[in-house]
């Protein structure tokens, strides 16, 4: 089964070897048919603590590394 890949923005790096990444998606409202933005935060494994707040990163699904962490940072993109 392929691993999911998402893109988002780093919003926190307070934890050791972990980055909190906010991923936004655009969906249509079921009744009003207006396009709205929904966001969700993912905890991603950052082995070298290289991510900085505000960076655009790509994360990939992986095996569970802790209770809530099952994503890993695979590359940083220049913003």
pLDDT tens digits, 20-73: 999 999 999 999 999 999 999 999 999 999 999 999 999 999 999 999 999 999
| Segments forming the whole domain that contains residue 19 | 5-77
Q: Could you give the number of structural domains in the chain? A: 1
Query: What is the CATH classification number for the domain harbouring 55?
Result: 2.40.50.140
State pLDDT tens for residues 11-21. 999 999 999 99
The DSSP code sequence of 1-28 is -PPPEEEEEEEE--STTEEEEEEEEEEE
Q: Residue 24 half-sphere exposure, CB side, CA atoms within 13 Å?
A: 8
State pTM to two decimals.
0.89
């Amino acid at each position: 089964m392929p691993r999911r890949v998402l893109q988002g923005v780093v919003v926190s790096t307070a934890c050791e070897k972990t980055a909190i990444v906010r991923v936004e998606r655009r969906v249509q409202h079921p009744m009003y048919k207006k396009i709205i933005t929904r966001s969700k935060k993912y905890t991603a494994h950052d082995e070298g603590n290289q991510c900085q707040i505000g960076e655009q990163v790509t994360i990939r699904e992986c095996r569970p590394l802790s209770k809530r962490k099952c994503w890993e940072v695979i590359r940083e993109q220049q913003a």
